[in-house]
Amino acid sequence: MAVTSRRLLRTSLLTALSAVLVASAATGAAQAEPSRTPAPAAAATVFSDTFDGPAGAAANASKWQIETGDNVNNHERQYYTAGANNAALDGQGHLVITARRENPGNYQCWYGRCEYTSARLNTSGKFTAQYGHVEARLQVPRGQGMWPAFWMLGNDIGQVGWPNSGEIDVMENVGYEPSTVHGTIHGPGYSGSGGIGAAYTLPGGQAFADGFHTFAVDWAPDSITWSVDGQVYQRRTPADLGGRSWVFNKPFFLILNLAVGGYWPGDPDGSTSFPQRLVVDHVSVTTSGVAPGARR
């Protein structure tokens, strides 16, 4: 989700096998075997949340922090609230982010009194990823003006700003495209509406809001590959940037949010019903079985 007009613990499991000494059966002399090619590292889950807990509980504070406020940059209409007001466990292993057309706290937005409330969570200061398989299993909301997203920002955003920090949008959906999701990268010289990405559309007119789907990136040095339900639909490398800077070989933190309105999705209209929910079944980051120095 771009933070302009349209827009975490570094973990890389690297291993190498040392040369193995074997005893010579014939002479008893110790001889060194030739060096072997480094074996791929075993995959390991370095971040996981399956959102187990009682209904109404807030997200695990050791993994997620709750952002608050509005977003004038995208001209979104919601106010992101604290606690479990708009983001709570359902007691069935899900986190539910709920957008409501209400403002009991009298929150003020860039355009005046906020019309909607919702939630945005991130792992900044709690977890960063650098490479691996990053995925979330989600059921998106439906309706004009809905804008759910699962994405990542460079952990150095506080020092270098956006878009120099880089942004990896694992999944974005805008309500007027019920069958389509987008995967995008943003960086210096290719941000906002100039982000580089592709779309994935379900066959046969199916809507993403009708059920759960798994959205993922496989991220390695100089390579990011997007998939939906295991189906790869795009791969990006520095060669796609036309000489511009690749800013994705560093730690990023994770973000989940449900925006309402904005430049890209447009605002809700009379056809949009509330409340709307982004239901999150799980989020995980798994290190890839990549040998030392390997590139994808």
For residue 62, count other CB atoms closer than 10 A to its CB.
Answer: 9
Task: Look up tokens 């920090």; give the residue.
Answer: 165
User: Burial code of 93-132, b = ≥16 C-beta within 10 A, e = fewer?
Assistant: ebbbbbbbbebeeebebeeeebbbbbbbbbbbebbbbbbb
Taken as a whole, the chain contains a residue count of: 296
Kind of pairing, strands 78-80 and 65-67?
A: unpaired
Q: Which of 33, 115, 167, 177 is catalytic?
A: 167
Burial of 199 from C-beta contacts in 10 A (0-12 / 13-18 / 19+): middle
Q: Cβ contacts of residue 177 below 8 Å, gap of 6+?
A: none
Residue 167 appears among annotated catalytic residues: yes
Q: Which of 102, 135, 172, 177 is catalytic?
A: 172
Which of 249, 8, 257, 13 lies closest to 134 in space, CA to CA? Answer: 8
Query: Which residues participate in catalysis according to the annotation?
Result: 167, 172
